[in-house]
Chains A and B, each alone.
Chain A
Amino acid sequence: MLEISNLTTHYFQGGQVATAVRGVSLTLNKGLATAIVGESGSGKSTVAMSVMRMIRPPIGDIAEGTIRVNGTDVTAASPKRMREILRTSIGFVPQDPTTALDPLYTIRSQIVEAMPHVERNKRTETIVELLTSLGIADARDRLREHPHQFSGGMRQRVAIAIALAKEPDLLIADEPTTALDVTTQIGILRLLDRLRRERHLTTMFITHDIRVARLVCQDVAVMYGGVVVESGPLSAVVEAPSHPYTQALLDASSLDVGPRQRLRAISGSPPTLLSMPSGCPFAPRCPNATDICRSEMPATTRKADGSSFACWNPVAS
């Protein structure tokens, strides 16, 4: 469905070139949800933006690699062809629906823009059906309302409706619950999971929270410093992490920390885009790091459980 191979994406910052993604290869299995997990600056959003070809000069550019959506290489697509792919194949759920929806346009007109293939006289019916199925009550009466008249959770449902209006094959959700109240987060997560199952949606789920990923995803790719350090079936990776960063991430988010116990944080801070180390990006913070880690990028190793990792000194299982 989605095949990313050897993707390298640059940003141009005041004459300097910042490499946000370095040689990422990733395959999303059809009908499954793949979590891309990582902290800020790990390159996880850049991967998503590269798939949608949102990074173009003068902001940045894809320097290398191919991204195949349903077999079409989007890195070679013209802007016109890319719009067609976005119109028909890729749905995008934004991080914060409050800033993503246009405050000046009605909900209806914003959804209609994403469904040009639906006949004019059937649009209202289709939108009402869609919104109702996403859990918006009195959808028909609310079509003429504007985003500010909706609550945060309802706004995200409207944004999801826009992503689904084109009936996409691929859904890209960029931290879709980060900006929401905790109470509405779980509802949106359940909704995304249901939609994936009902519509056989291949889902790319970007998150910094591996616990959220465990609720809705089957596969995972852990990113750090612009590279995928470990990937595979989520259960396999969580059960037996091989990369020290994955291990540290799981420790940091583990719930079995009692009161008055120290939280297990990862010491140090992630590398900035302009000071990326030449070897493994995690080496400066890694407890297992040796000399080779700092000078050379490790190759990817496949494991028997279907997962793979890139590390010189993997966690002993």
Chain B
Amino acid sequence: MSENMISVKGIHKYFGGVHALKGVELQIKKGEVHCLAGENGCGKSTIIKVISGVHKPDGGEIEVNGVKVDHMTPSESIKQGIQIIYQDFSVFPNLTVIENLAFNKVLASKKKFVNRKEFRRIAEEAIKKINFDVDLDALVETLPVADKQLIAISRALLDNAKLIIMDEPTTALTKKEVKRMFEIINKLKDEGVTILFVSHKLEEVFEICDTVTIFRNGENVISCPVSEMDEKKFSFHMTGRHFAEVTEGKKRNLGETVLETKQLSARGFNDVSFTLRKGEILGITGQLGSGRTELSLALFGLLRPDEGEILIEDQKVNIPNPTKAQELGIALVPEDRLTEGLFLPQSIKRNIAITRLDELSNKLGVVNSELLDDESAKWVRDIGVATKNDEFPVSTLSGGNQQKVLLARWIASNPKVLILNGPTVGVDIGAKYDIHNLLRKLASAGMGIIIESDDATEIVNTCDRVLVMQKGQITAEVKEEDLNVKTLANYV
């Protein structure tokens, strides 16, 4: 018997002309929680798909329990006890919990008739393994994301999983749910299940994992026990860049009030009063359903306030639509980049220039294409969008660069108030660093900035002051001197 649950050696994978995996190695010991980290597009997902037999590698070998597997197929991989919990969870939303849990097993038993009692028994057994408390008759689509994941895990255990691969499982979870997830991971570990935990969230990796392997550009750069890793090393290996400690723009002179709300209420939040000063970065934190998203929508003219006032530079304003918001100097970088922000198949150029069309066209509304080219080139250069050409569709960019395009779009409109909802969600460390620096620079130049985020590190690193929102109300205000990850966690 080998001490490695799985061992892949020298795996190559090409997609068309793209060399996605360049001879990667990955050794996972039995019973450990192994972290696979790396930025978007580094080959994490590809290697998972190779291990699970979805992609056929173009070179290299896979050993499971020390035995070489020549042709890994999805069914072979399941037979070997490898189970993957994908980001989209692969559960059937329109079926009940019982049905989701028992389906595989019943189908596998090749019985022609199904027995409801049998279903229930299997399902109960499954959730007991991880002490998961859920209404077995509920439709899965009505459950929170965290429960869907746990259902997927329970189902994996039913199939005698020996290695569970979790693909960024915590992305959509709240703090509490993450905690519960970690308890379950520890429990699984105690029972001898090996876990491959795919993540790029630093804190989580340090908290839960034994060993960490980092991929970059389809190559593995390091593999070592977590104890030998620290934050700096981690980001260096992920990005290949060293990040200087940020000092620039940390201390800023705050100007007069640029935005103020008085007892503002709308669907989703009520009685919200706060001020934002020129040059200030104000954090608003709170979980899903805290009302922070609705607040940003109301400030941008996408949600009509029921009561209260919004003041821009001490002038009471009415914001019926985003066009008006833009005229008043309010910009919003929305929460969901892909559906609310970007025109994915359209060029980077068009995506950037959209807010500047008035300035880029003549009186008759004819766009001056030279001005358009220059404008786009300028922003691509200034903000550092990594692309070979701004005629490419914005969909070809990485998450971080897409976010930069959105930032460019709104900074180009030269707003007084820039609101960002989850500015670095799904953004790699390098781009995150760039974006935070950029925001500080903008604030130093006098822009008022609101960052809505549930990423505590982000808030602490960038904001001067933080408002905590819960159930549609501001429940606390944290001043800069008290601002650190721990105090923030106490409020949320």
The answer on A and B forming one complex is: no
